[in-house]
Amino acid sequence: MILLASAAALLLQQTTPEGFYTPSQADRGKALYKRICAACHGAEPARPDPTVVVAVAGPGFASSWPQTATLEDLAFEVRSMPPGGADPLTGEQSILILAYLLHENGYPSGKVELRADSALLRTKLHASGDGAKKPDLPARKPPPASKK
């Protein structure tokens, strides 16, 4: 009984919308993204340049996914990189890069690390016709003005 209560508490903690990943995961994911992903997806995901294959953050990113898409769908895409199976990402690398992409798309961080089996991955990317919606996200800060 105690074990069941502990498991339920852990599941509740994993599904609390107070955060999707930890700041540490996003930081580690950023380093991996810059080393592994930036060549195709741009050095700054939220400010892709025109030569980027597919933008992974910013206003058009979520709208490029079907209304039924979940974070699990995004996780699948991350795990399938790079295309062609050359030097595939490990499970840990995929989760860290996913945490960074969630950060870049305005999903809040929290105290519980995102895991590959997290119930949070069933969260929809954006509003859908069935009433589910993306969590209320904080407004993104504009990029700092460049110094000339």
**Cβ contact 100:57 at 8 Å:** no
Distance in angstroms (rounded) separating the CA atoms of residues 81 and 79: 6
Does this model's pTM top 0.75? My answer is no
Q: How would you write the pLDDT of the chain (148 residues) with one tens digit per residue?
A: 343 333 333 433 444 457 899 999 999 999 999 998 888 888 887 766 666 667 788 776 777 788 788 889 888 888 888 877 677 888 899 999 999 999 998 889 999 999 988 888 888 876 333 333 344 443 434 444 445 4
**Cβ contact 41:105 at 8 Å:** no
Number of domains in the chain: 1
Domain assignment present for residue 46? The answer is yes
Structural domain range at position 88: 25-122
Domain assignment present for residue 11? The answer is no
Domain assignment present for residue 117? The answer is yes
**CATH code for position 58:** 1.10.760.10
Distance in angstroms (rounded) separating the CA atoms of residues 98 and 113: 12
Domain assignment present for residue 82? The answer is yes
Q: How far apart are the first and last CA of the chain?
A: 64
In the block, tokens 């590959």 appear at: 116
φ, ψ of residue 115 in degrees (nearest 5):
-125, 160
Domain assignment present for residue 80? The answer is yes
Helix (H, G, I), strand (E, B) or coil at 101: helix
